[in-house]
């Protein structure tokens, strides 16, 4: 199985839509928890560390790590959308090659269908990545 197949299978099996994270001070340091956006009692990951004072203040890389972990579902969605976009580009290129080298009976409407499909997949990719 490919990475794409693994991601698709796991996302279909898991009903959790998005993750978020919280960062707070505890007795002996800090704790970042990652949990489903709609179920804060169902912790996915906990990062606990002792506070480390640096010249510029307290170390904050663990909080950033929590935010990175919380983005995993969004990154998976973007990767799956990119895969669909790549397939649409392949299909569109193949269709144009058929037109350029093939028989005259391929109609413009056949190409328009592929073009519209590709545009939809571009829109899905942009939605998944937050790109305008």
The torsion angles phi and psi of 93, rounded to 5 degrees, stand at -65, -40
Cα-based distances in Å from 59 to 30, 43, 124:
10, 23, 37
> How far, rounded to the nearest angstrom, does the alpha carbon of residue 108 sit from its chain's CA centroid?
34
Over range 101-116, report the average pLDDT.
66
pLDDT of 32 reads 80
**Per-residue pLDDT reduced to its tens digit, 10-67:** 888 876 678 888 877 777 677 788 888 888 788 887 877 666 666 666 556 667 777 8
CA-based torsion, 55, 56, 60, 64: positive or negative: negative
Over range 85-107, report the average pLDDT.
74
């Amino acid at each position: 199985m490919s990475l794409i197949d693994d991601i698709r299978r796991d996302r279909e099996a898991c009903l959790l839509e998005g993750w978020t994270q919280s960062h707070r001070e505890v007795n002996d340091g800090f704790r970042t928890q990652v949990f489903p956006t709609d179920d804060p009692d169902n912790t996915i990951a906990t990062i606990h560390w002792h506070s480390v004072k640096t010249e510029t203040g307290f170390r904050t890389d663990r909080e950033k790590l929590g935010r990175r972990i919380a983005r995993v579902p969004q990154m998976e969605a973007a990767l799956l959308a990119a895969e669909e976009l790549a397939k649409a580009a392949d299909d569109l290129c193949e269709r144009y090659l058929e037109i350029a080298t093939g028989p005259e009976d391929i109609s413009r409407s056949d190409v328009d269908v592929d073009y519209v499909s590709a545009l939809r997949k571009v829109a899905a990719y942009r939605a998944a990545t937050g790109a305008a």
